Amino acid sequence: MSRDVCVVVTARPSYSRIKSALVALRERSDVRLRLVVAASALLERYGSAVVYIENDGFEIAARVHMVLEGENLAAMTKTTGLGVLELATVFDNLRPDVVVTVADRYETLATAVAAAYMNIPLAHVQGGEVTGSIDEKVRHAVTKLADLHFVSTALARERVIRMGEEPDSVFVTGCPSIDLAAEVLKDPRLSFDPLQKYGGVGATLGLGEGYVVVIQHPVTTEHAAARRHVEETLHAVAALGLPALWFWPNPDAGSDGTSGGIRAFREQHAPRSIHFFKNMAPLDFLRLAYNSRCVVGNSSMGLRECAFLGVPVVNIGSRQAGRERGGNVIDVGYERGPILAAVRQQVARGRHPQDALYGDGQAGSRIAEKLATVALKIEKRLTY
Amino acid sequence: MSRDVCVVVTARPSYSRIKSALVALRERSDVRLRLVVAASALLERYGSAVVYIENDGFEIAARVHMVLEGENLAAMTKTTGLGVLELATVFDNLRPDVVVTVADRYETLATAVAAAYMNIPLAHVQGGEVTGSIDEKVRHAVTKLADLHFVSTALARERVIRMGEEPDSVFVTGCPSIDLAAEVLKDPRLSFDPLQKYGGVGATLGLGEGYVVVIQHPVTTEHAAARRHVEETLHAVAALGLPALWFWPNPDAGSDGTSGGIRAFREQHAPRSIHFFKNMAPLDFLRLAYNSRCVVGNSSMGLRECAFLGVPVVNIGSRQAGRERGGNVIDVGYERGPILAAVRQQVARGRHPQDALYGDGQAGSRIAEKLATVALKIEKRLTY
Amino acid sequence: MSRDVCVVVTARPSYSRIKSALVALRERSDVRLRLVVAASALLERYGSAVVYIENDGFEIAARVHMVLEGENLAAMTKTTGLGVLELATVFDNLRPDVVVTVADRYETLATAVAAAYMNIPLAHVQGGEVTGSIDEKVRHAVTKLADLHFVSTALARERVIRMGEEPDSVFVTGCPSIDLAAEVLKDPRLSFDPLQKYGGVGATLGLGEGYVVVIQHPVTTEHAAARRHVEETLHAVAALGLPALWFWPNPDAGSDGTSGGIRAFREQHAPRSIHFFKNMAPLDFLRLAYNSRCVVGNSSMGLRECAFLGVPVVNIGSRQAGRERGGNVIDVGYERGPILAAVRQQVARGRHPQDALYGDGQAGSRIAEKLATVALKIEKRLTY
Amino acid sequence: MSRDVCVVVTARPSYSRIKSALVALRERSDVRLRLVVAASALLERYGSAVVYIENDGFEIAARVHMVLEGENLAAMTKTTGLGVLELATVFDNLRPDVVVTVADRYETLATAVAAAYMNIPLAHVQGGEVTGSIDEKVRHAVTKLADLHFVSTALARERVIRMGEEPDSVFVTGCPSIDLAAEVLKDPRLSFDPLQKYGGVGATLGLGEGYVVVIQHPVTTEHAAARRHVEETLHAVAALGLPALWFWPNPDAGSDGTSGGIRAFREQHAPRSIHFFKNMAPLDFLRLAYNSRCVVGNSSMGLRECAFLGVPVVNIGSRQAGRERGGNVIDVGYERGPILAAVRQQVARGRHPQDALYGDGQAGSRIAEKLATVALKIEKRLTY
For range A18-22, the mean pLDDT = 97
Give the closest residue to D307 by CA, choosing from D153, D135, D101, D132.
D153
CB contact under 8 A, B42 and C256: no
Sequence-distant (≥ 6) Cβ neighbours of residue B193 within 8 angstroms: B207
HSE at residue D127, side-chain half, CA atoms within 13 A, is 33
- Does residue B283 register a pLDDT over 70? yes
Cβ atoms B40, B8 nearer than 8 A: no
Among chain D residues, the shortest Cα distance to A64 is held by D74
The pLDDT tens digits of the residues spanning D332-375 come to 999 999 999 999 999 999 999 999 999 999 999 999 999 999 99
- Residue count of chain D: 384
Residue C103 gets the label, from left (phi > 0), alpha (psi -120 to 50) or beta, of: left
Cβ atoms C146, C123 nearer than 8 A: yes
Instruction: Classify residue C353 by its DSSP letter.
Output: P
Burial D220-234 (b: 16+ CB within 10 A, else e): bbbbeebbebbbbbb
Give the closest residue to C278 by CA, choosing from C44, C105, C92.
C44
- Compute the distance between CA of residue A363 and CA of residue A376 in angstroms, rounded to an integer: 20
Point out which residues pair with C274 in neighbouring strands.
Answer: C244
Task: Give the range with max mean pLDDT: A200-209, A258-267, B138-147.
Answer: B138-147
The pLDDT tens digits of the residues spanning A210-252 come to 999 999 988 765 666 888 999 999 999 999 999 999 998 866 5
Cβ atoms C86, D78 nearer than 8 A: no
- Compute the distance between CA of residue B10 and CA of residue B42 in angstroms, rounded to an integer: 8
Instruction: Classify residue D58 by its DSSP letter.
Output: P
End-to-end CA distance of chain C: 36
Strand order in the sheet with B329-332: B201-202, B274-277, B244-247, B212-215, B294-297, B313-316, B329-332
Intervals of chain D under pLDDT 70: 220-224, 250-256
- Compute the distance between CA of residue D346 and CA of residue A346 in angstroms, rounded to an integer: 61
Per-residue pLDDT at C278? 82
Q: How far is CA A109 from CA A124, A144, B66, in A?
A: 10, 11, 20
Task: Give SS3 for A124.
Answer: strand
**Residue B90: its chain D contacts at CB < 8 A?**
89
CB pairs under 8 A between C and D: 154
Angle in degrees, CA D221, D147, C159, rounded to 5: 65
* DSSP letters for D99-160: EEEETT-TTHHHHHHHHHHTT--EEEES-S---SHHHHHHHHHHHHH-SEEEESSHHHHHHH
Q: Residue C65: which of B44, B78, B201 has the nearest Cβ?
A: B78
Q: Residue D68: which of A68, A71, A74 has the nearest Cβ?
A: A68
- Does residue B248 register a pLDDT over 90? no
CB contact under 8 A, B256 and C44: yes
To the nearest whole percent, how much of chain B has pLDDT over 90? 81
Q: Residue A93: which of C62, C85, C88 has the nearest Cβ?
A: C62
Task: Give SS3 for B309.
Answer: helix
Q: Residue B93: which of D63, D82, D92 has the nearest Cβ?
A: D63
Beta strands at B148-151 and C98-102: parallel, antiparallel or unpaired: unpaired
Distance (Å) from the C-alpha of residue B110 to the closest C-alpha of chain D? 16
CB contact under 8 A, A381 and B221: no
**Residue D88: its chain B contacts at CB < 8 A?**
65
Chains touching D, CB cut-off 8 Å, 3+ pairs: A, B, C
Q: Residue D92: which of B63, B88, B89 has the nearest Cβ?
A: B63
Instruction: Classify residue C181 by its DSSP letter.
Output: H
- Compute the distance between CA of residue D269 and CA of residue D266 in angstroms, rounded to an integer: 5
- Residue count of chain C: 384
Query: Environment class of residue B112 by beta-carbon count within 10 Å: exposed (0-12), middle (13-18) or buried (19+)?
Result: buried
- Compute the distance between CA of residue C294 and CA of residue C244 in angstroms, rounded to an integer: 10
Per-residue pLDDT at A253? 53
Which candidate in A67, A79, A89, A90 is best for mutational testing of the C interface (most C CBs within 10 A)? A89
For residue A218, how far is the Cα from the chain centroid?
A: 14
Which candidate in B66, B69, B71, B84 is best for mutational testing of the A interface (most A CBs within 10 A)? B84
Point out which residues pair with A64 in neighbouring strands.
Answer: A38
The residues of B whose Cβ lies within 8 A of any Cβ of C are 42-45, 65-72, 74-75, 78, 82, 201, 251, 256, 267
Which candidate in B37, B45, B68, B73 is best for mutational testing of the C interface (most C CBs within 10 A)? B68
Q: Residue A74: which of D45, D65, D256 has the nearest Cβ?
A: D65
Which candidate in D93, D94, D117 is best for mutational testing of the B interface (most B CBs within 10 A)? D93
Distance (Å) from the C-alpha of residue A97 to the closest C-alpha of chain D? 29
Long-range contacts from C149-154, C-beta under 8 angstroms, 24+ separation? C149/C123, C149/C124, C150/C123, C150/C124, C150/C125, C150/C126, C150/C363, C150/C366, C150/C367, C150/C370, C151/C126, C151/C127, C152/C126, C152/C128, C152/C178, C152/C304, C152/C358, C152/C359, C152/C363, C153/C128, C153/C129, C153/C324, C153/C357, C153/C358
The pLDDT tens digits of the residues spanning A67-125 come to 999 878 999 999 999 999 999 999 999 999 999 999 999 999 999 999 999 999 999 99
The pLDDT tens digits of the residues spanning B51-69 come to 999 999 999 999 999 999 9
Point out which residues pair with A34 in neighbouring strands.
Answer: A6
Instruction: Classify residue D68 by its DSSP letter.
Output: B
Intervals of chain C under pLDDT 70: 220-224, 250-256
Query: Element (H or E) spanning C150, and its range?
Result: strand C148-151
The percent of chain C in helix, strand and coil, each rounded to the nearest 5, is 45, 15, 35
- Does residue A13 register a pLDDT over 90? no
**Residue A266: its chain D contacts at CB < 8 A?**
none
- Does residue B365 register a pLDDT over 60? yes
- Does residue B162 register a pLDDT over 90? yes
Residue B287 gets the label, from left (phi > 0), alpha (psi -120 to 50) or beta, of: alpha
- Compute the distance between CA of residue C248 and CA of residue C258 in angstroms, rounded to an integer: 9
CB contact under 8 A, D84 and C80: yes
Distance (Å) from the C-alpha of residue D65 to the closest C-alpha of chain B? 7
For residue D162, how far is the Cα from the chain centroid?
A: 25
For range A362-383, the mean pLDDT = 97
CB contact under 8 A, C86 and A82: no
**Residue C164: its chain D contacts at CB < 8 A?**
140, 159, 162-163
- Compute the distance between CA of residue B272 and CA of residue A79 in angstroms, rounded to an integer: 52
Distance (Å) from the C-alpha of residue B63 to the closest C-alpha of chain D? 6
The CB density around residue C302, as the number of other CB atoms within 10 Å, is: 27
* Global ipTM: 0.91
CB contact under 8 A, A65 and C92: yes
Which candidate in A93, A94, A95 is best for mutational testing of the C interface (most C CBs within 10 A)? A93
CA dihedral C142, C143, C145, C148 (to 10 degrees): 120
Confidence of residue B298 (pLDDT cuts 50, 70, 90): very high
Among chain B residues, the shortest Cα distance to A122 is held by B137
